[in-house]
Amino acid sequence: MGNPRTHLANSLHLHSLPLSIADMPEVLTFIESNLDRFRAELYEFLRIPSISAKTEHAEDTRRSAQWLADRMRDAGLEVEIIETPGHPVVLGEWRGAGEAAPTVLVYGHYDVQPPEPLEEWVSPPFEPNERDGRIYARGSADDKGQLYMHIKALEALLTTNGSMPVNVVVLAEGEEETGSPNLVPFVETNLDRLACDVVLISDTSMFSEELPSLGFSLRGLAYFEIHVSGARSDLHSGEYGGAITNPGNALAHILATLHDKKGRVAIEGFYDDVVEWDSKTRAQIESLPHSDEQYREELGVKKLNGEHGFSTLERLWIRPTCDVNGLLCGYTGEGAKTVLPNHAMAKVSFRLVPNQTDGKVRDLFEKHVQHVTPEGVTVQINELHGGRPWKASVEGRYFEAATQALEEAFGTTPVLMGSGGSIPIVVEFEERLSAPVMLVGFSLPGCNLHAPNEWLPVENFERGIGALALLYQKLAN
Ligand code: BES
Ligand code: MN
Ligand code: MN
């Protein structure tokens, strides 16, 4: 335990460049001597099952917002809990740097994904447990742990120095995991309050344990439920089998038409809006230390597979996909039941890249499904989530500041990386607030986001707080 702490201080001292970090030693000492408390507080946060998708957890989700608001207030922010038609937004402000100083908008989410399947968890999802230098709990990485790092960095600066060189607005929402249905209206009605020079988000991963990272992209999302219905009720599969279209067979057929043999999405027009990425970005991706063999081994698959003509990282970051996320049909209990189900359902999601939009993908998908659906069944498609993809212009003084802060805190120059996941509000922030967005993530590939046994490295929690404290100072220069 002692080791990573001294490491943080050492790396910052070793790399102290001529910057505004004259006061940093005290800030770092504060962080180091309060780490046990920071971690105990994070555990309290993680114990609240703020599962935004489940109505039975609505009160827990609210309690989580309240808890966060209290801690943000303790850190020295002015805090308001603002109601929305769904879960509330927690808004914290510190504007002591004055109007001439830059304003940073920090975004994160206090809601989490459902923890199921529970039996797969080594320790219960809402009882944080530290093993092998990892904090295991739902939300440790996505996103409570990372959001809390910002609060602690701000606390360290405000307690030690009494002020910061930048104004800070923290916006924490409780509906990210359900597609942020109320956040765009919230942003629209609070444009003045959210006005900022740069948006800072820690809700992504680093490329690897050794490499701090800045994100250059996020994929968009178009998520559908497809229902196939047939006869009035389930039927004996011997008595009726062969005379009607089985909705299960029909759905399987539909799903099988979604890809061609080269791993491409076989929907007409699907690639029309996909932009060719610039050679600089592709070279950047190419230069990252990735091993297909190691990746394959880690995932436990026989072979990696995807769109022909692209590397694994390209497939993950700059190419769109179509995937079945869930299937429901017929008899799945013990033993055999000879039955023709009268209904089949699949959850199908598309990850999108610039300049695809979920609206257009919906139209193309609907047209395709209509075209390939066998006669004799009815299909209905419902859209669950949509979100646009995003590509950063990774340049300018704020990116310089982030690069330097990460380099000093981790002792290594950060890499630029894409992300396969989606944070749909990012494009909206960029457009509506006219501010660049920076993704500075501290979880790792393999942290089991949305899966059983989610974890965050203790070391990243510690170092990340230092890195962010430094970054807040550097954003002023
Ligand atoms: N933090 C993730 C997004 C993410 C994960 C980005 C890993 C980069 C790397 C976020 O909480 C998330 O899970 N987003 C959802 C989309 C949302 C609309 C449900 C996603 O990507 O599935
Ligand atoms: Mn997240
Ligand atoms: Mn998530």
- C-alpha closest to that of 344 among 379, 308, 309: 379
For residue 141, the number of C-alpha atoms closer than 13 Å in the C-beta half-sphere is 26
Mean pLDDT within 134-154: 98
Check if the beta carbon of residue 330 is closer than 8 Å to that of residue 231. no
User: Rounded to an integer, what is the distance from CA 151 to the centroid of its chain?
Assistant: 19
Dihedral (Cα; 278, 284, 287, 289), 10-degree rounding: -130
Ligand located closest to 204 CA: 1
Q: From the alpha carbon of 205, which atom of ligand 1 is closest? A: 9
Q: How far apart are CA 448 and CA 141, in angstroms?
A: 9
* 2-14 helix and 24-47 helix, angle to the nearest 10 degrees: 140
How far are the Cα atoms of 120, 225, 351 from residue 324, in angstroms, in the given order?
Answer: 22, 10, 11
pLDDT (0 to 100) of residue 147: 98
DSSP H/E element including 279: helix 279-286
Whether the pLDDT of residue 5 is over 50: the answer is no
Whether the pLDDT of residue 6 is over 50: the answer is no
Q: From the alpha carbon of 223, which atom of ligand 1 is closest? A: 18
DSSP state letter for 178: G
- Identify the band that residue 11 occupies on the pLDDT scale cut at 50, 70 and 90: very low
Q: How far apart are CA 112 and CA 92, in angstroms?
A: 20
For ligand 3, a single-atom ion, the residues with CB < 5 A are 142
What residues flank ligand 1, with Cβ below 6 Å?
142-143, 176-177, 179, 203-205, 221, 385, 387, 419, 421-424, 449
- Identify the band that residue 23 occupies on the pLDDT scale cut at 50, 70 and 90: low
SS3 of 339, please?
Answer: strand
pLDDT digits (tens, 9 = 90+) for 423-438: 999 999 999 999 999 9
Cα 112 to averaged position of ligand 3 atoms, centre (Å): 7
Q: Which alpha helices (H) appear in 174-246, and where do they start and end?
A: 183-189, 191-194
Q: From the alpha carbon of 219, which atom of ligand 1 is closest? A: 21
Residue with tokens 């030690």: 160
Dihedral (Cα; 192, 196, 199, 200), 10-degree rounding: -110
pLDDT digits (tens, 9 = 90+) for 170-180: 999 999 999 99
Whether the pLDDT of residue 1 is over 90: the answer is no
Check if the beta carbon of residue 50 is closer than 8 Å to that of residue 139. yes
Q: How many CB atoms lie within 10 A of CB 123?
A: 13
Ligand located closest to 447 CA: 1
pLDDT (0 to 100) of residue 16: 36
For ligand 2, a single-atom ion, the residues with CB < 5 A are 142-143, 203
